[in-house]
Structure 1
Amino acid sequence: MNNALLSIRPATPDDVPVIRQLIAELAEYERLAHAAVATDDDLRTQLFGERPAAEVLIGEIDGTPAGFALFFHNFSTFLGKRGLYLEDLFVRPSYRGSGLGKHLMAALARIAVQRDCGRFEWSVLDWNEPAIGFYRSIGATGMDEWTVQRLEGAALHALAARDEL
């Protein structure tokens, strides 16, 4: 892959089937295939609809989709600035080691800087040592004192159904 042509571009609505396939491959890698239930229609609406919830960069090698990064903005009350949050980064196994992951991360860092973001953050599974090593190699530091909390499914609906004040 030394002479391979790497490119990164913003996704378009025509990329929805590729994005869904990459998400399925990521879910399989993360041992969460059962949780990947998004449809093409869901992705089209949420990524390219009237109020997009996230953005996607597609990484290609020699014109073939080889990976993606899905991200959105959050906000830091302490900094008084928005941040860039990377929800998913995935490079297909046959393309790992090509430099595509670093190029995707650099592209996201440029977006964060261009948009005056105060932070660029993401989460990684604690067992994913290759990813953790990769992130350390680009200068990331772990936020070990923080833990992710989540409400979903019945618990989310139960809390939403509580009486308002």
Structure 2
Amino acid sequence: MACSHPWKIRPATREDVPSIVWLTQVLAEYENEPRSMKIGEKEMLRDGFGEKQYFHVLVAEWTSDDGPVLNSIPVDPEKPSTSMPHNDRIVGHALYFYTYSTWEGKCLHMEDLCVREQYRNRGIGTALMQECAKVACREGCARMIWQVLDWNTRAAELYERIGGKILKEWLTIRLIQPELGNFASGETKP
């Protein structure tokens, strides 16, 4: 059966890294964290496409010659990071990596899910998530996990509709630099 969508989901290549970085910055701005992104193309290439692969990425590539803003990258002088050159046919991505549960075994963690605003509400995000789920099943994962910001109720409702469970009793703990280094070196005492 031929696909009737004007996009395709495929594994990312090294050539897609500028688009992945661009979309990740767009996501950071959407999540009100524009200055939180500390890595760029060099780190993404090294960590996702180098000798040791820490993550994988699926991209949504627009295959039609028609689109809401195809060949028109928005330029916002207030947000220059969202105006960097990239392949404008990459309209979304899902970044994932594997984790392990001592209770259940292998898990797939979806770190980022992002679709360009002009291409939302077309099923692209759902298709990216579904492809991640296929990868998880193919790899024998017991579960797929991801996070959503508490104010993003629209996304949370979608996740619940597809069968996702929001775990309110578990809190995410984050230890970042310099505290991470301080604790590792013994400078921070419990």
**Shorter-chain TM-score tier:** over 0.9
Which portions of structure 1, spanning 4 or more consecutive aligned residues, are displaced by more than 4 angstroms?
A: none
Correspondence for 2:129 among 76, 84, 105: 105
- Structure 1 CA distance for aligned equivalents of residues 5 and 132 of structure 2: 21
Does the residue aligned with 1:120 lie in a helix, a strand or coil?
Answer: strand
Q: Which runs of no fewer than 5 residues in structure 2 stay unpaired? A: 65-88
Percent pairwise identity = 37
Task: Give the equivalent residue in structure 2 for 1:32.
Answer: 33
TM-score (norm 1): 0.93
User: In structure 2, what is the Cα distance between the partners aligned to 1:132 and 1:161?
Assistant: 38
CA deviation digits over 1:105-146, x for unaligned, max 9? 110110000000011000111111121112112111111110
The one-letter code matched in structure 2 to 1:141 is K
Higher helix share: 1
Structure 1 spans left out of the alignment, 5+ residues:
none
Partner of 1:116, secondary structure, is: coil
Larger Rg: 2
Shift of 1:4: 4.8
TM-score (norm 2): 0.81
CA RMSD of aligned residues (A): 1.3
Asked if the contact 1:4–1:61 (Cα under 8 Å) also holds between the matched residues in 2, the reply is no
Query: In the alignment, which residue of structure 2 is the partner of 1:20?
Result: 21
Residues 23-76 of structure 1: per-residue CA shift (max 9 Å, x gap)? 010001001110112111010000001111000000122361111000000001
Secondary structure of the structure 1 residue equivalent to 2:160 = helix
Cα distance between partner residues in 2 of 1:59 and 1:137: 22
> What letter matches 1:75 in structure 2?
Y
